[in-house]
């Protein structure tokens, strides 16, 4: 059971590892892009390439869905970013339980956005947990964990891709011992639990009153979605890549930066300057900040609007 790109290596590894995948469950196809074209999930596309049976129930509360899964008689269910909280009558079906590949070192960063949460928190590392699912939100006992360093240039996209492959490998290492009864699940320490908050499009709007370090983390955490953006001449200007720099001045003011190549432009924040490396004007391609400024001569010296923060 999985939906986004993160889950694809797990599916691939199970097939390559010789496990019989009796069905692949993924979220229903959804419209995407400006044209609203119906797009299948990455997991569905991979499953169809592999010739596997695909099921897409909107909910397991729909009549017959629980029985349909029970009729498959799965020995075990593997979950990786599926997108639905499994009810107890689903968890009870497979004799070896439902194992979850979760991209954090549980109990830290439970919830739906653990990768972004780790970057936002300024964590030096994160990891992958193999967990036996229970009816709670990422509260089940742990079977295995592996630590992964967070690089200064990591975004949610790049870090998720690394964690996906680590998780797939860790699952394959753990499964044989689990099926042979050689793994003793370890209870999580609930007192150390933290929860990641939902990310919305509005989460990406930049509040220049925050510090440059905090905004730098947000630029990385909200890449590729929803992206961090400000407003310039009534249109959105996305900040694709940035770096924090020292500096004092009027909050929101665009300033020239010297002595920090390749950064030549930045915005004064509540603490420090957010140096701009790559930006994307509304309706246009990604470009270097220097290239953008060449076409917007009055950008330097402009005052960008502050915005109340929606994610902390």
Enumerate the domain spans of the chain.
Answer: 5-192, 201-295
Cα–Cα distances (Å) from 3 to 84, 112, 224, in that order, read 10, 13, 17
pLDDT at residue number 310:
42
CA distance 292 to 281: 8
What's the pLDDT score for residue 37?
87
CB 256 within 8 A of CB 300: yes
| pLDDT for position 178 | 98
In the CATH hierarchy, which top-level class contains the domain 5-192? alpha beta
User: What CATH architecture does domain 201-295 belong to?
Assistant: Roll (3.10)
Stretches where the chain sits below pLDDT 70 are 33-34, 308-312
Residue 96: the pLDDT is 98
List of long-range contacts for 204-207, beta carbons under 8 Å, 24+ apart = 204/228, 204/229, 205/229, 205/230, 205/307, 205/310, 206/230, 206/239, 206/304, 206/307, 207/306, 207/307, 207/308, 207/309
Tell me what pLDDT residue 173 has. 98
Asked if 93 and 72 count as a contact pair (C-beta separation under 8 A), the reply is no
Model pLDDT, residue 311: 40
First to last CA, the chain: 30
| 11 contacts 21 by C-beta, under 8 angstroms | yes
The tens digit of pLDDT for each residue in 111-126 reads 999 999 999 999 999 9
């Amino acid at each position: 059971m999985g939906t986004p790109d993160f889950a694809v290596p797990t599916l691939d590894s199970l097939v390559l590892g010789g496990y019989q995948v009796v069905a692949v469950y993924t979220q229903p196809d959804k419209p995407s892009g400006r044209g609203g074209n119906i797009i299948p999930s990455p997991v569905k596309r991979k499953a169809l390439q592999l010739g596997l049976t695909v099921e897409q129930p909107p909910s397991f509360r729909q009549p017959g869905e629980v029985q349909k899964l029970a009729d498959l008689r799965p020995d075990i269910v593997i979950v990786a970013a599926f997108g639905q909280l499994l009810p107890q009558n689903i968890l009870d079906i497979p004799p070896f339980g439902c194992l979850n590949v979760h991209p954090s070192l549980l109990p830290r960063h439970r919830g739906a956005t653990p990768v972004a949460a780790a970057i936002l928190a300024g964590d030096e590392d994160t990891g992958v947990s193999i967990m036996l699912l229970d009816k709670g939100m990422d509260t089940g006992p742990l079977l295995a964990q592996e630590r992964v360093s967070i690089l200064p240039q990591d975004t949610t996209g790049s870090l998720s891709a690394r964690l996906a492959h680590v998780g797939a490998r860790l699952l394959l290492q753990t499964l044989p011992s689990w099926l042979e009864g050689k793994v003793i699940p370890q209870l999580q320490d609930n007192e150390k639990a933290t929860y990641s908050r939902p990310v919305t499009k509005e989460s990406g709007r930049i509040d220049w009153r925050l510090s440059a370090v905090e905004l730098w983390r947000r630029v990385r955490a909200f890449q590729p979605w929803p992206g961090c953006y400000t407003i310039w001449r009534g249109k959105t200007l996305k900040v694709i890549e940035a770096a924090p720099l020292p500096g004092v001045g009027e909050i929101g003011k665009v300033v020239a930066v010297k002595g920090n190549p390749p950064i030549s432009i930045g915005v004064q924040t509540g603490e420090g300057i957010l140096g701009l490396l790559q930006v994307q004007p509304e309706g246009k391609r990604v470009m270097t900040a220097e290239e953008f400024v060449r076409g917007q001569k009055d950008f330097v010296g402009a005052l960008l609007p502050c915005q109340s923060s929606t994610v902390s």
